[in-house]
Amino acid sequence: MKQDLIGVVGEDNVLDDQASLGSYGRDESFVLPIKPRFVVRPGSEDEVQALVVWANETLRPLVPVSSGGPHFYGDTVPSVPGAVMVDLSRLNKIRRIDRRNRIVVIEPGVTYAQLQPELAKEGMRVTPPLFPRANKSVVASLLERQPTLIPRYNYALPEPLRNCGVIWGDGQKFFTGESGHGPLDLEQQWAAGLRQVDPKGPAQTDFFRLLTGAQGTLGIVIWASVKCELLADPKKTLFVPADTLDDLVDLSYRLTRLRVGDELFLVNSSYLATLVAGDAAEIPALKEALPPWTLVIGVGGRALLPEERMAVAEKDITAEVAARGLRLLGAAPGLATTRVEAVLDGLAGEPHWKLRYKGGVQDIFFHTTLENAPGFLSTMMSTAQAHTYPTGDVGVYLQPQHQGVSYHCEFSLPYDPTDAHETANLKALFSKAGERLIGQGAYFSRPYGEWADLVYNRDAQSTAALRAVKSILDPNNVLNPSKLCF
Amino acid sequence: MALEEFRADAMRCTRCSYCKWIPFDLVKSWEFSKGCPSVDYNNFHSYSGGGRLITMLSLMDGRSEVNDRVVDIAYKCQLCGNCDITCKVCRYDMNVLDALREFRRTLNEQGQVPVAYPGIIAKLRESGNMIGAPQQRRASWADGLGLKQLGVDGVDKAEVVFHAGCRYSFDPSLRSAVRAAATVLTKAGCDFALDGAEGCCGGKAYDMGYRDDFAAVAKANLERWAAAGVKKVVTPCATCYYTFKRLYPEVGSTIEVLHTVECADRRIKDGSLKLTRPVPVTVTYHDPCHLGRQGEPHVPWDGKEVKIYGQAVVYDPPRPRYIGAYGVYDPPRDVLEAIPGLELVEMERSREAAWCCGAGGSVREAYPEFNAWTAGKRIEEAGSTGAEILATACPGCEKNFAEAVSASGTKMKVLDVLELVEQAL
Amino acid sequence: MALPQEAYQALEDIVGAENVSNDAAVLDSYAFQWLADLVRPNLSHYMPRPVAVVMPGSTEEVQAIVRLANKYKVKVKPHGTGWYHWAAPIYDDRDSLQLDMRRMNKIEIDEKNGIAIVEPYVIHAQMHAEAIKRGWSCTIIGAGCSCSVIAAACAYSGIGPGTFWMGGQAENVLGMEWVAPNGEIVRSGSLGSGDGWFCSEGPGPSVRGIMRGSLGARGGLGVYTKCAVKLVHWPGSTDWPVQGTIPAYRLPLDETFRAYTLAVPSWEAWADAYYKIYDNEIGYIFHRQFNLAGADLAPTFWLMYNDHTKTLGDVPDMIKQPGMAELTEEMRISFQLVMAGRSVADIELQDKVLDRILEEVGGWKVERYCEKDMAEFTNIYLNRLGHKHINFVWVGGYIGSWMQPGTPDWVKEYVPTAIAGLERDAKDGLLVQCGGDAMMGTGGAYPGGGVMGLEQFVSYDPNDEASTRAGIKHMEDAVTDAASIGYPPGKEALYLEMGHSDDRTFKKWANAKQPFAFIFQRKIKEHFDPNDLGDRMYNYIPEEYEPAKKA
């Protein structure tokens, strides 16, 4: 087997030392650690395709991964023994930057650290999720449907992901979206003036939608086109403090409805403190100093008349905030603005900010409409209490998505993974909270780890439909088997 | 005329379904967006204006034959004209309402009519009116009003005739409305006579497809009026109004036609009718199809289709559009707003977008359930305005609404516009 | 072809006898279709007649009908308002039920979250009206507000003048409820999990990915019975205070609204203008709409239309009036932009930005069309899109050709060929001669802009065989013309396809650059439609047509 793999990717790109296997075989989540048999690092689309073809011939499971660690949700940990990790980090070319059409075409190994500075040269960026790590793959983030920061640009949840080149589980190469109309060669498409903008199709299937949220179970993406936003300049960050989440609900609805402002999210003091802290020691004091809740909103100017644009946005936001008896501040109380800006504009270093407080974290996240978020919060807190988890440690992050129609609601639970008792307790809390939240109507649209069973058991028809899709795209079930419902 | 005259309309129908709705720009709610009672009640596409064009085409093409269903399709329609005007919002070459009338005429000539029709037309043929009541009692509604009558007491000439119409003449429940109309005009100083030999206008016969009956009645009326020197006919009935104004010129009439609300409006505006007593009510006004949408002036036309720019269809000479732009919408509203203390509120579907009362096209007689349903919908809409009174200017509408109000249990009252004017004198 | 009596009886039992018919005349009102004459033998206006038309009133009734259809192997063809020839059955030799979804017409508005939940016969006009009352608005598809929301969101395109800012229905659709041909009910996203309508993605991979792509199944794979779409903010009056005289109603411009017709001096400037509008994020509704009447005639046509005393026959005289020739040239490359500010400051800024854009591209506001009367007309026209039957105004026949979607830079390259082609094809007078540029198209076919297309509006007389044949020839010419410049076929190919045999169509799809898309769809169909109740409106290629696999 090793020789087969060496034949595809070269000896330097096949790893089977215990350290490497160990690092790919577990992550921060509670999924059962299972080491892969090999790690391979293909350097081209053809090598990726050859690997998948080989996997079909030998019925070896492949688990694709593009980002460096830490990984949090178990999607890149093999769920079966004997897997081959397909580490796509060597496919790291930025294939094309197109300012006029604001489209960048990248390979899966391209990270935010690599991409954003290059795009900045053209006055653009890819709308990021909240404080991604530098080694996070942009394509992976988008395929995971990680929520991005600017609700008004989130025309659909997969935004800004547009077209993909993919090797399906059966080994064939395919282009999604408008690129699917061909020719099946990006250079030829560019020469013909085609720009991989529209994500829909081809035909009557949104193939790219089958790839999002799939945790690498249906295909391995080898390139993606991504819509860019113009960099805002000038820009500033504003803060609306509040005592309770309920105090901010109406304002958040209104601001997203008006599509005013850029970045917009709601965080509690625990989450915000963890986000901006330099180290663990800072966090308790920051939590105390920060308001219990903050709505963070960025304003910026782009294209023509940027200063005026920012000023008008700020004016309109001010009016909305004032109308609700809230305060709009240029800085979060107890926090230097630059720290927040560093988060909004920058990339997380190491150790990962989520891990700084106690060394470990479990996130519970799902989709909801905003009005239901306080109810879910209540459930989370009562479940935490029931498991003697300090509720003051529960971080809450609400990210409006789809221009405000739905929200990513995230509960972040830091803990000390070296403490066996604490870990066991958190595991129980994690499972219980997930169960209760799902039962309450939280929609786990990204069903990682143990949520998969809960989610797919709730929706028999979707499960059947997805299994039909899987049987077509990966008939031999070589891609990340035993994930999701396959 | 024959079905083939409308082949082009059918072939050029795009099946857009605009004919099912009120003009889209005017839609303010889900409930009051519907414009065609027939398709709303019967649902199959055939029951829309466009659907009937296709049905005609299917018959013309020999793809289907006249049967009970086809008769149902053709006649289960109030001929309210909504489909006609909504089609014309975007088209200059379609005449849906004329096509629907031709459809009936064609079927009628074949003896293919709804079960109720022979009984209805028998009334006209046997009694000279659509109610089937003794003609000699026709003017009894005016007892005690001291009105002149042609042919009575030596009155053999009159420039202006007040034509009550069959329903107003014979329906006791509507007596106060027609009496109010005559009273108001008298108080305004109008000089008119009743027609002592008043007969049916023939409008319903026309709509039902009994064209010969219509022609005979129209001829008789016109000859009689010519002999009496009549130059103007005033009527409180919207259907008679439409018939005299739009159908009679096709058979040579040059008589001027006014509805009593138009007279009242003029007299209020020129000061000869003074409304001084407050009538503190909230009123919503229903535009009768024949006074509103179909109440536009008649424009004689005898021309042909010509093409410009290659294939664009126009007419030589230009063909009148009859899109409902010039219906009698403002006079009744101006009259109501001139009444002291009266507050006028509009239904969502008003003016050219008014929902039919249900009675038109002889649906009242031939399809009573459909009729009642249609009227009930309008009563709901009237009720939604909060108005205490539903006012209108047509006996068919008033009768239908009164019955629908009674069936619905609502406290709303149904009155003719001139009854309210009378209260303000 | 007829349905067995017991099957017909069963349909009556399901929906009620008054909601099913197999009367020939009734069936013909469904078989008759616009565009049928361009694709059917002998220019017939009739698509194949269904064996019965049935009108279900609920999802349960739909499911029962579908189960019955499986039993009797009768095809199922649902439609909303049914305005396109693919709404009808497509096979002469196979029995098909026509499902008229008219009785399923309920709407619910979630005011807080800006979501409308609709059944198939809720049309955009109704959704728009109910939204406006509540301070929301919605995107309306290019075919206009007479069309079904579900048809747009689930079964066809969903793109319209509002797509740039409001999204297309493909982006706006949230939960979808689908009765698959096998009788199972599949619900997408959060709806499938019983959590409500608000999220269309997931769980995990998005199930909605198999429900629609560039297009939906056009009735060719099951029946959509409910869906939810997201609404957009409406900063205008909730009264909807329409004025004016039929046909040209007007909507006064609220303080934060503008309705412009803009023009540019060249197609290069046109592309530049679009890119700048995209970058600057101004505009609420962005469309090249009025040009549908043909650049030579449109400026005059719309002024005629706005005068209720005038008719089409007045256009030849009006166009000769002083100033009209100049106006026609001024508007030769023009488009419409409705702007809606969330505040006075916002709209004033948008105005300034627009002025700068015009300055940069050498464009201008067309003064006559920006005067109050035409601005108010533009405002209501584009916001409500209730005049789309004007597509057919000249003589009742309209073909949409070209409209290949791409970036503005890519689209502008086909413009000269499209113009020359229509001028050529209309020269002998068998098509309406309104100038070679009768192109209409949305400013952004995807929210935020980036892709769009321009569609030629070609008018023929469906009552005239020679004109109809000229229309068919134009469509064939358009395919050839596009190929001559290396462009794929446009919208006309979709129309023409309806007249082709299965064999020809399957071969075409097998020759696509990615036949796997159609193979995939066949396999989806095999799973969800084992008894082949659907049709090839949901594109697929049978196994025997699959290209030989490469070694």
3-state secondary structure chain B: CCHHHHHHHHHCCCCCCHHHECCHHHCCCCHHHECCHHHHHHCCHHHCHHHHHHHHHHHHCCCCCCCHHHHHHHHCCCCCCHHHHHHHCCCCCCCHHHHHHHHHHHHHHCCCCCCCHHHHHHHHHHHCCCCCCCHHHHHHHHCCCCCEEECCCCCCCCCEEECCCHHHHHCHHHHHHHHHHHHHHHHCCCCCEEECCCCCCCHHHHHHCCHHHHHHHHHHHHHHHHHCCCCEEEECCHHHHHHHHHHHHHHCCCCEEEEHHHHHHHHHHCCCCCCCCCCCCEEEECCCCCCCCCCCCCCCCCCEEEEECCCEEEEECCCCCCCCCCCCCHHHHHHHHCCCCCEEECCCCCHHHCCCCCCHHHHHHHCHHHHHHHHHHHHHHHHHCCCCEEEECCHHHHHHHHHHHHHHCCCCEEEEHHHHHHHCC
For residue C346, which residues of chain A lie inside 8 Å, CB to CB? 312, 316
Cβ <8 Å between C102 and B323 = no
pLDDT at residue A154 tops 90? yes
Where does a domain end: B91, B112, B133?
B112
Q: What is the pLDDT of residue A335?
A: 85
**Domain match, B15 and B88 both:** yes
What is the mean pLDDT of the segment spanning C394-420? Answer: 98
Partner B contacted by C289 (CB < 8 A): no
**Domain match, B83 and B45 both:** yes
CB contacts under 8 A, A 327-366 vs C, are none
Partner B contacted by C55 (CB < 8 A): yes
Whether B134 is in a domain gets the answer: yes
What is the mean pLDDT of the segment spanning B226-236? Answer: 97
Structure confidence at residue B1 as a pLDDT band (50, 70, 90): low
**Domain match, B122 and B255 both:** yes
Cβ <8 Å between C209 and A303 = no
Structural domain range at position B3: 1-112
Tell me the residue type at C93: D
Structure confidence at residue C112 as a pLDDT band (50, 70, 90): very high
**Domain match, B108 and B182 both:** no
For chain C, which domains are there?
5-100 (3.30.43.10), 107-233 (3.30.465.10), 253-492 (3.40.462.10), 502-550 (no CATH)
Alpha carbons A176 and A172: distance in angstroms, whole number? 13
Domain of B153, CATH number, reads 3.40.50
Q: What is the pLDDT of residue C551?
A: 42
**Domain match, B90 and B134 both:** no
pLDDT at residue B7 tops 50? yes
Query: How many beta-carbon pairs under 8 angstroms link A with C?
Result: 294
Cβ <8 Å between A464 and C184 = yes
Alpha carbons A170 and B216: distance in angstroms, whole number? 83
Q: What is the pLDDT of residue A473?
A: 98
Partner C contacted by A191 (CB < 8 A): no
Rounded to the nearest integer, the mean pLDDT of chain A is: 96
Cβ <8 Å between B51 and C81 = no
Partner B contacted by C83 (CB < 8 A): yes
Alpha carbons C515 and C66: distance in angstroms, whole number? 29
pLDDT at residue C1 tops 90? no
- Which of A309, A317, A462 should one mutate to test binding to chain C, selecting the residue with the greatest count of C CBs within 10 A? A462
For residue C217, which residues of chain A lie inside 8 Å, CB to CB? 204
**Domain match, B128 and B258 both:** yes
For residue C34, which residues of chain B lie inside 8 Å, CB to CB? 14-16
Structure confidence at residue A149 as a pLDDT band (50, 70, 90): very high
Q: Percentage of residues in chain C with pLDDT exceeding 70?
A: 99
- Per-residue pLDDT of A468-485, as tens digits, reads 999 999 999 999 999 999
Nearest chain A Cα to C204, which residue? A213
For residue A258, which residues of chain C lie inside 8 Å, CB to CB? 233, 342
Whether B310 is in a domain gets the answer: no
For residue C405, which residues of chain A lie inside 8 Å, CB to CB? 178, 198
Cβ <8 Å between A468 and C356 = no
- Per-residue pLDDT of A181-215, as tens digits, reads 989 999 999 999 999 999 999 999 999 999 999 99
Q: DSSP class of residue C443?
A: S
What is the mean pLDDT of the segment spanning C192-220? Answer: 97
For residue C128, which residues of chain B lie inside 8 Å, CB to CB? 27
The total domain count for chain B is 2
For residue B27, which residues of chain C lie inside 8 Å, CB to CB? 125-126, 128-129, 145, 384, 386
Partner C contacted by A305 (CB < 8 A): yes
pLDDT at residue C522 tops 80? yes
**Domain match, B107 and B134 both:** no
pLDDT at residue A333 tops 90? no
Q: What is the pLDDT of residue A279?
A: 87
**Domain match, B133 and B261 both:** yes
pLDDT at residue A165 tops 70? yes
Whether B378 is in a domain gets the answer: no
Structure confidence at residue C549 as a pLDDT band (50, 70, 90): low
How close is the nearest chain C Cα to the Cα of B242, in Å? 20
Nearest chain C Cα to A181, which residue? C513
Cβ <8 Å between C83 and B15 = yes
CB B394 within 8 A of CB B359: no
- Residues linked to residue A412 through DSSP beta bridges, in sequence order: A363, A395
- Per-residue pLDDT of C429-457, as tens digits, reads 999 999 999 999 999 999 999 999 999 99
For residue A158, which residues of chain C lie inside 8 Å, CB to CB? 201, 206
* Residue in C207, C210, C450 closest to A101 by CB: C450
* Residue in C82, C102, C247 closest to B323 by CB: C247
How close is the nearest chain A Cα to the Cα of C184, in Å? 8
Where does a domain end: B75, B90, B112?
B112
Q: Is C128 exposed, middle or buried (0-12, 13-18, 19+ CB in 10 A)?
A: buried
Q: Percentage of residues in chain A with pLDDT exceeding 70?
A: 100
Q: Which residue has the tokens 């999210």?
A: A265
What is the mean pLDDT of the segment spanning A214-220? Answer: 97
- Per-residue pLDDT of B265-312, as tens digits, reads 999 999 999 999 999 999 999 999 999 999 999 999 999 999 999 999
Whether B305 is in a domain gets the answer: no
What is the mean pLDDT of the segment spanning A22-49? Answer: 96
Q: Percentage of residues in chain B with pLDDT exceeding 90?
A: 99
**Domain match, B100 and B223 both:** no
pTM summary value = 0.98
Closest CA to A451 of A431, A480, A429, A423: A431
pLDDT at residue C257 tops 70? yes
**Domain match, B140 and B7 both:** no
Could you count the other beta carbons within 10 Å of the beta carbon of residue B187? Answer: 16
How close is the nearest chain B Cα to the Cα of C47, in Å? 13
Please give the backbone phi and psi of residue B314, each rounded to the nearest 5 degrees, phi first. Answer: -135, -175
How close is the nearest chain A Cα to the Cα of C262, in Å? 18
For residue A484, which residues of chain C lie inside 8 Å, CB to CB? 204-205
**Domain match, B230 and B147 both:** yes
The DSSP line for C89-107 is ---TTS-EEEEEGGG---E
Where does a domain end: B251, B269, B287?
B269
- Which of C86, C163, C442, C516 should one mutate to test binding to chain A, selecting the residue with the greatest count of A CBs within 10 A? C516
Nearest chain C Cα to B31, which residue? C126
**Domain match, B137 and B243 both:** yes
For residue C246, which residues of chain B lie inside 8 Å, CB to CB? 23, 85, 89, 323-325, 352
Whether B295 is in a domain gets the answer: no
Whether B373 is in a domain gets the answer: no
Whether B188 is in a domain gets the answer: yes
